Structure 1
Amino acid sequence: MPAHGLAILGSGIFAKEAHLPALAALGGAVDVKAVYSRSRKSSTEFAEAAQEKLGLKHKLDVYNEEDEGRSLDSLLARPDIKAVIVVLPITLQPDIVRKALAAGKHVLSEKPVAPDVASGRALIEEYEAKYKPQGLVWRVAENFETEPGFQAAQRIVHGGKLGTIKYYNARAYSWVDTHSKWYNTPWRTVPDYQGGFLLDGGVHTIAVLRKVLPSSFTSLSAYASLAKDILKPHDTINAVVASDDNSHGIIELSWGTPVQSRVTEAHSSISITGDKGWLEATRVGENIRVVVRTAVLDENGKPVWDEEKKLWKETEEVIEEKSCGVEKEIESWLRAVDGEDDGLDAPRGTLVDVAFIEAALNSKGTPVDLKKLVTG
């Protein structure tokens, strides 16, 4: 993979703590040249951190809205920068993506694709009509979609090992309080987008289900609520969802846990059940573990009874993969820029994730047609 002239747009926590280590792991595949942030201070601090983390011999060029001649437009005018990674607040990203595409840059923008379905759909349609024909590649950085552990789960389900999928379940709980570094990011403390942390973080869980399940979501019925006053407007969703293949599931998402034990004891996981077995995917430390259990069948396809244990026989397979989704999403995007498109993180796919959250926030128990919401 040839080195790509790259700029980072955004200098916050995730840019420093996730994107920089991922870029460092990719080594010679990238040539990071510049950083942009709205303030001089944050862009300068990021440039210093990047030089150390990436082992650069040169200093990153710093762009911001305070120094004359160093604006985002100036950065995007540079011919040696071919691609940008956008790691900015949710509501800012669509306009920045447009601006970067208009400047002829390939774009990887952080999830979610947009703050709402309508603006996301409009951006996607503009990209597909105007910029994709020019050969520009835009992907949405949904790192859960590219995690090797979740991809292993997808191969198992799509390969038929579990048989016909019947039902599924997802539980994602998180602890956020006023001491959290994520909460103290100004744009998260008082969010100007629907759902707060549910949109920011909830799309991850939906993305996994979207990739692992063998068929698309069709509808959902849900209730959304606020359990913790600091996390307005909503922090909890409970949804019942149906899929094209007549399977169905229950999805629980909450950032509004009252104490940390609600997170540690809640057993956050994703499980998929078919007529031949089931799997469960969980995070264990820095890894993603997938446990697959299937029925042992005889030559006639009938379950086998273990007389000694007085149980139906079953097999167990454990797959454990290191979590490295951010690295993999950047690598996948760069390969797409080089003409090797694996289909991961396509904007239209990630629009489904936003649609799910938006539908759940507004359902109030009434079924919502998810396909209609996505297509408009």
Structure 2
Amino acid sequence: MVGIALLGAGIFASQEHLPAIEADPSLELKAVYSRSQKSAETLASASKNASSVDVYYDSPAVAGKSLDDLLRRDDIAAVAVVLPILTQPAVIQKAIKAGKHVLSEKPVAADVDAAKKLISWYDSLGAGAPIWAVAENFRFIESLDYAATKVAGFGGKVATFRLQKYGFVRAEDKYFNTAWRKVPEHQGGFLLDGGVHFVAALRLLLAAAGQEIKQLACFSALLEERLLPVDTVNAVAVTQDGKSGTITMTFGTEFKSGLEIEVVTTSGAVAWTPTSVRTVTNNSASGERVEDTKEFLYSSGVKEEMVAFSQAIGAGKANPLQTPAEALKDLEILQGLLKSGEGNAALTQI
């Protein structure tokens, strides 16, 4: 059994990472860390084995209770880092230097330059370094995996594609009322924090057809003044084979909501939502149109990604869906959308 610590006591850490760790029989939660004693103790008390989970924090300063003290423990082999975007890179480095395997929340860093520097530093450590995996839970959603299998199975060449995400972040929303999201110091605000999920999902489906996005032209906007700096992007994206599609993501549309990604090839079409996959193709014998919809129970994919991480520790190698390089590609596209939007649809190479 692998001893693991949860670093971060925010909403996603408490509601997703904590139960995911406790659901994996190969992991044992040894400790939690947060900036404040109160938040760390609140998180630890939510554990099924609260009495055996040690608490670490920065404020107030107490001897033996710092993050450095946690990382010195020999019985903790791994950490899950679920901290604000700008805080994560330094903690990732500190944990890896301490010899801990790391699963860090997406995005891999706040911007592409910072991500490349962090990845370059990690790569310089060589083959004996602890595992560093990036948690992009969408890549582990069952319905998305099924959709990717369908895209690959249909074959053919990509004709077009679309990503449509509509939503509205209300003033009372629990995520909006997280200080670092309410007054973001990172690019894109909610578009970086949440949008990278949807980019990852689109990339997974396009990859099933052998395609990657290489060019973008995007318009961006701020529809809801609270959601600085921008909350909406509308873009045309082009793959290496010159096939174009559209990307729409917004967190500022009160009267329209939903997430759907569709990939259309010369052999069929696959439309994905988190709870359904709709396919359209032709019967190979009769040539008649065949349509099918498969329904799924909603799953965040966090439990599955935690299992992938624990299995990677056992195998001594990160899961291909969790490599920092894979997460960097998500960030490159998201940043490309934002940069193109700043230039009023300036053509951006990825």
What TM-score bracket applies, with the shorter chain setting the length? over 0.9
Alignment partners' CA distance in 2, 1:186 and 1:241: 33
Paired position in structure 2 for 1:251: 247
1:173 lines up with 2:159 in the alignment: no
Alignment partners' CA distance in 1, 2:261 and 2:10: 29
Higher mean alpha-carbon deviation, 9-18 vs 244-253, is at: 244-253
1:141 lines up with 2:135 in the alignment: yes
Give the one of 119, 134, 137 matched to 2:114: 119
Give the one of 346, 357, 373 matched to 2:323: 346
Alignment partners' CA distance in 2, 1:176 and 1:104: 39
Paired position in structure 2 for 1:307: none
Partner deviation per Cα, 1:306-339 (whole Å, 9 max, x = no partner)? xxxxxxx324252535414100111111111111
Following TM superposition, by how much is the alpha carbon of 1:297 offset from its aligned partner in structure 2, in angstroms?
Answer: 3.4
Following TM superposition, by how much is the alpha carbon of 1:24 offset from its aligned partner in structure 2, in angstroms?
Answer: 2.8
% identity of equivalent residues: 37
Give the TM-score taking structure 1 as reference length: 0.87
AA in 2 matched with 1:318: K
Work out which of the two has the higher radius of gyration on C-alpha atoms and give 1 or 2: 1
Alignment partners' CA distance in 1, 2:178 and 2:129: 35
Alignment partners' CA distance in 2, 1:57 and 1:279: 44
Following TM superposition, by how much is the alpha carbon of 1:162 offset from its aligned partner in structure 2, in angstroms?
Answer: 4.9
Alignment partners' CA distance in 2, 1:57 and 1:193: 34
Paired position in structure 1 for 2:15: 17
Give the one of 196, 208, 215 matched to 2:201: 208
Following TM superposition, by how much is the alpha carbon of 1:247 offset from its aligned partner in structure 2, in angstroms?
Answer: 2.2
AA in 1 matched with 2:51: H
Following TM superposition, by how much is the alpha carbon of 1:23 offset from its aligned partner in structure 2, in angstroms?
Answer: 2.0
Paired position in structure 2 for 1:88: 83
Runs of 4+ in 1 over 4 A off after TM superposition: none
Give the one of 288, 292, 317 matched to 1:316: 292
Alignment partners' CA distance in 2, 1:168 and 1:315: 18
Give the one of 46, 56, 67 matched to 1:63: 56
Partner deviation per Cα, 1:134-186 (whole Å, 9 max, x = no partner)? 24111111000111111111112123x15222110011112212101000000
Give the one of 216, 219, 226 matched to 2:222: 226
CA 324–357 in structure 1, closer or farther in 2 if over 3 Å, else same: closer
Paired position in structure 2 for 1:34: 31
Contact 1:293/1:317, CA 8 A, preserved across alignment = no
Give the one of 281, 285, 289 matched to 2:272: 281
AA in 1 matched with 2:131: V
Aligned residues: 341
AA in 2 matched with 1:337: I
Alignment partners' CA distance in 2, 1:335 and 1:151: 18
Alignment partners' CA distance in 2, 1:333 and 1:239: 34
1:110 lines up with 2:105 in the alignment: yes
Paired position in structure 1 for 2:235: 239
Paired position in structure 1 for 2:283: 296
Partner deviation per Cα, 1:12-52 (whole Å, 9 max, x = no partner)? 111111112222322x21110101111111001111112xx
SS at match of 1:104: coil
Structure 2 alignment gaps of length 5 or more: none
Contact 1:40/1:67, CA 8 A, preserved across alignment = no
Give the one of 312, 316, 327 matched to 1:336: 312
CA 224–348 in structure 1, closer or farther in 2 if over 3 Å, else same: same
AA in 2 matched with 1:228: E
Structure 1 alignment gaps of length 5 or more: 305-312, 371-376
Alignment partners' CA distance in 1, 2:285 and 2:135: 45
Give the one of 126, 129, 135 matched to 2:124: 129
Contact 2:135/2:322, CA 8 A, preserved across alignment = yes
Give the one of 302, 306, 312 matched to 1:326: 302
Following TM superposition, by how much is the alpha carbon of 1:368 offset from its aligned partner in structure 2, in angstroms?
Answer: 0.7
Alignment partners' CA distance in 1, 2:66 and 2:188: 31
Partner deviation per Cα, 1:44-96 (whole Å, 9 max, x = no partner)? 1111112xxxx217331111112322111111111111000000000000111
Paired position in structure 1 for 2:261: 270
Following TM superposition, by how much is the alpha carbon of 1:348 offset from its aligned partner in structure 2, in angstroms?
Answer: 0.7
Following TM superposition, by how much is the alpha carbon of 1:5 offset from its aligned partner in structure 2, in angstroms?
Answer: 0.4
Give the one of 352, 359, 376 matched to 2:336: 359
AA in 1 matched with 2:279: V
AA in 2 matched with 1:71: S
Following TM superposition, by how much is the alpha carbon of 1:115 offset from its aligned partner in structure 2, in angstroms?
Answer: 0.4
